[in-house]
Structure 1
Amino acid sequence: MTRRLLTSFVLAAVTAGTLAACGSNSSAGDDPADAASAQKGSIDVENCADPDAATRKITGTLKVGWSAATSGPLADAVGNVIEGMEARFAVENAAGGVGGVKLAVVVKDDAFNPERARTNVGELIEKEKVDVLDTFGSGQLDAMSDAQNDACVPLLFGQASVPAYRDATKFPWTTEYLPSADVEMKAVVEGLKKKYPQGAKVALAANQTESGQGYANGFKNAIEGTNFTIAKEAPLTDPNTAASALKASGAPILVDAGVTTDCLALTQAIGRVGWKPETVIQPSNCADGATLYAPAGAAADGQQIMRWLKDPADAAFADDPAVKDYLQKVAANGADSPTNTYTLNGWAIADLMIDVFKSAAKAKDGLSRLSIMEAARTQDYQPPMFIDGIKFTMTQEKSLGIQAFQPFTWHADQKRFLASGDVLNAA
């Protein structure tokens, strides 16, 4: 079954012509030469629901539409991401925008429900007339991607890590910000090999959402051909039950294949059952020390994570020029929690978008959905807030994104992460 058959909600509107006009932020130029010219590029617009909308020049305001959980347990994290993005856009707008085009964020709540995200994408495209989309969560990305690709609206730097969407030949209008679960877990296993050269048993805690299963499968793929074995896998539906079951496995290593809300909950659960594994690996999406590690006290001590962003709360980066600049500007532009890792994520995503938009604006036919997507497909950029030596790299065929990490370890007594190794290139 094709994507077009799966996305009747959006396509019905397309058939009715509601996508024919890209919105008040786009020019009215309907020159068919634009579409013909675009088809000569790396991304074919011939099968777009509305090829003219894909190639029409964007003027006035460029809208980025988010479907994200602004209610429920993830609301705080999502709110900080949006604040960080809005602050970075405010800085760019104050400097004149992208070739005079101002940047705006439009947010619709999906309560971390994929079905609501599916509805949101239709409304963002049809009613809000957004030029670019973004989302938070692998399930949300899965629900949105068919309609979004059929409509040829770029979805840039989605907060997801599903390997399937790295294939640009199948999802040419979609990119992800979070590193591929396969790539991240490959780096994790390389680190484990150094500590356990003979291999070891692993206890795997897995969230049952698509995001969690992506991490779990990524870890299983990464240990193939090694001496690491999974002694016990338990779902994170109830962290306390999972902790008890995993403790009984006797495994020295605990890997959390979870989402943001799991990291603190699982740490507190293993503390309650009196289990202190030799090594605990948390996913990179659980990066904020103040909210996800410090509240667990000694139970979180020694937990490890792979990172790519400079931590603005870490004294090790206190004299970094990029960190100083970030802290001054993000606070001056409305962000309530400048040192929060999710605020920083939003800022970094916006920085990546702005780099794409500026490149797209230099295209022969100017800033459009098509030129934005083509610029995103060839991006090779190191944002100032990325750790030195870590870049965001794309190709026409593969959405590579983040391919390198630096391992960090949480020190409960100091309430901070400290680097525990050099940058690892998982490519």
Structure 2
Amino acid sequence: MNAASRHAPLMSRRRALLVAGAATWIAAGLGGAAAAETGEIRIGQTMPFSGVASAYGIIGQVEGAYLRKINAEQGGVNGRKVNLISLDDAYSPPKTVEQTRKLVEQENVLAVFGSVGTPTNLAVHKYLNSRKVPHLFVSSGASFWNQPEKYPWTIGWQIDYESEGKVYGKYVLKEKPDAKVAILYQHDDSGRDYIRGFKEGLGENAKKMIVAEASYQITDPTVDSQVIALRNSGADVLFTHATPKFGAQAIRKIYEIGWKPLHILSSTTNTIAGTLKPAGFEKSQGVVSGFLIKDPGDPTWKDDPEVRDYLTFMKTYAPNLDAYDTWAVWGYTMAQGLVQTLRQAGQDVTPENIMKQARNLNFKPAMTLPGIVAKTGPNRNVPIQAMQLARFEGDRWKLSGEVIAVAE
């Protein structure tokens, strides 16, 4: 099987599998009395298994598969099975509220873990904090999650969008100091974080270098008109923050209109399976983005023990999912963060101790890039605080430079 075919899952088939997987987990989660008798740990999450951001749904499915592995091979964590109840919110904040309340008030989950999206998590973080329910490892890089004094029950996972944007701004200064820069972004808090960081990276040059900005709403059908307007600004650099659907649209439109900027993609849309393959590999050449994890389809890692273990895991516990989708790898690493936190909690599986342990991590999740660890402490509320840049060449990302740490 060649690399191109590995990165080409059928989206309709994947969506059906995602929804089916979600239903399986929900069924497994019913029965509070049975849960109490077996001493299981009930964890909840919301995922966009449907809707405009459904490409992210594979994250939740792989997290569920990883916990099935832990239950089957290790008897759970500290003698308790871990039950993930994953509900579809279609990337719709009102639906997230409804489903999160169900998880807390009907399913009696210990914690809400890894839910995807900035607008969706913003819709429920106050509720979860008011109920003192751990809001663990939010799958969003919004800087909002890094407020432990104000929201002590919420903690992020990845390098925040503002810090990531700053890395890209500094990269532009280094590579094209005389650039004319255009920005395309999703009109929400995540987009504003990225722009703020990107401009900070450009520093005092931002005002003269940035010649155009355009935003889109998640409900927009396309970003074609925004791309055309940005091209007409005369920009020779484009920074795009988007979800996979709109990232793919932007790449295609840039190619179709003959625009050839240095194109920098946010990490939210750099998946090969969800963005670059749908856009077309020939249209994606030279795009730059930042990474935290190993790409299992990259020949660089073909003999890497972590990659071999990951592929074996996917074949065994998630055989119908695309193991080469980097969002699958993302779910694999995040699930390790949950398991590590539960292990450290020992037999004291209380909300208070779960948050204490989540803020006392220091380990390397399998499949993160060399030099990238998950570490928290008194002055570090987000576990992963580093990334490495890569350029898309042929049918894969090619890493370049060193790992860039934004916090020690």
Normalising by the smaller structure, the TM-score range is: 0.7 to 0.9
Which residue does the alignment assign to 1:190? 170
The correspondence for 1:415, drawn from 395, 401, 406, is 395
- Over residues 58-81 of structure 1, what are the superposed CA-to-partner deviations in whole Å (9 max), with x where a residue is unaligned? x72112211122211322431x11
Q: What is the correspondence of 1:11-410 to structure 2 with a 5 Å cutoff?
A: 24=33, 60-78=39-57, 80-94=58-72, 95-134=74-113, 135-196=115-176, 198-226=177-205, 229-236=209-216, 237=220, 238-277=222-261, 279-295=262-278, 296-335=280-319, 336-361=321-346, 366-396=348-378, 398-410=380-392
Q: Which stretch of the first structure deviates more once superposed, 241-250 or 330-339?
A: 330-339
Cα deviation, residue 161, structure 1: 1.5
Q: How many residues align?
A: 368
**Matched letter for residue 163 of structure 1:** S
Report the Cα distance in structure 1 between the residues aligned to 2:83 and 2:256, rounded to whole angstroms: 45
Distance across 1 between alignment mates of 2:198 and 2:136: 26
In the superposition, relative to structure 1, how do residues 314 and 116 fare at CA in structure 2: closer, same or farther (>3 Å)? same
% identical aligned pairs: 26
Structure 1 residues 25 and 230: alpha-carbon distance in aligned structure 2, compared to 1, 3 A threshold: farther
Using the TM superposition, give the Cα deviation of residue 26 of structure 1 relative to its aligned residue in structure 2, in angstroms.
7.4
User: How far 1:199 moved relative to its partner?
Assistant: 4.3
- Structure number having the greater helix percentage: 2
- Report the AA paired with residue 166 of structure 1: N
Does the 8 Å contact 1:23/1:130 carry over to 2? Answer: no
Runs of 4+ deviating beyond 4 Å? 22-28
CA distance in 1, matches of 2:270, 2:287: 11
| TM-score relative to the length of structure 1 | 0.82
CA distance in 1: counterparts of 2:345 and 2:127, whole angstroms:
23
Is contact 1:405–1:425 with CA below 8 Å preserved after alignment? yes
CA displacement at 1:211 relative to structure 2: 2.6
The amino acid of 2:231's aligned partner reads: K
Superposed displacement of residue 397, structure 1: 5.0
Contact 1:308–1:406 (CA under 8 A) maintained in structure 2: yes
Letter in 2 for 1:188: Y
Over 3 Å counting, the alpha-carbon distance change for 1:172 and 1:25 in structure 2 is farther
SS of the residue 1:213 aligns to: helix
Q: Is the CA contact 1:162–1:181 (under 8 Å) kept in the aligned structure 2?
A: yes
Post-superposition Cα deviations, 1:36-56, rounded to whole Å, max 9, x if no partner, equal xxxxxxxxxxxxxxxxxxxxx
Q: Which amino acid aligns with 1:63?
A: R
> Residues 146 and 24 (structure 1 numbering): CA distance in 2 closer, same or farther, change over 3 Å?
farther
Question: What is the SS of the residue equivalent to 1:225?
Answer: helix
**Match of residue 17 from structure 1:** none
Q: What is the one-letter code of the residue matched to 1:152?
A: K
TM value normalised by structure 2: 0.85
**1-structure distance, mates of 2:59, 2:276:** 19
Q: Is the 8 A contact 1:65 1:106 kept in 2?
A: yes
Q: Is the 8 A contact 1:356 1:375 kept in 2?
A: yes
Paired with 1:260 and 1:214, the residues of 2 have a C-alpha distance of 18
Give the drift of 1:143: 0.5
| 1:246 partner amino acid | L
| Rounded Cα–Cα distance in structure 2 between residues aligned with 1:25 and 1:133 | 20
Change (3 A) 1:294 1:116: closer
Where structure 1 has 5 or more consecutive residues not aligned to the other structure, the ranges are 1-21, 29-58
CA RMSD between the two structures: 2.0
Structure 1 window deviating more from structure 2 (187-196 vs 338-347): it is 187-196
Structure 1 counterpart SS, 2:183: strand
Q: Which residue of 1 aligns with 2:26?
A: none
Structure-2 change in CA distance of 1:397 and 1:142 (3 Å)? farther
Q: Are 1:166 and 1:175, in contact at CA under 8 Å, matched by a contact in 2? A: yes
Match for 1:88: what amino acid? Y
**Structure-2 separation of matches of 1:245 and 1:76:** 27
| 1:292-320 per-position Cα deviation (integer Å, ceiling 9, x unaligned) | 11332322100011001011111111111
Query: CA 1:185 to 1:77, structure 2 compared with 1: closer, same or farther past 3 Å?
Result: same
CA distance in structure 1 between the aligned counterparts of 2:292 and 2:125, rounded to whole angstroms: 26
Cα distance in 1 between the residues matched to 2:131 and 2:148: 16
Task: State the distance in 1 between where 2:64 and 2:123 align.
Answer: 25
Larger radius of gyration: 1
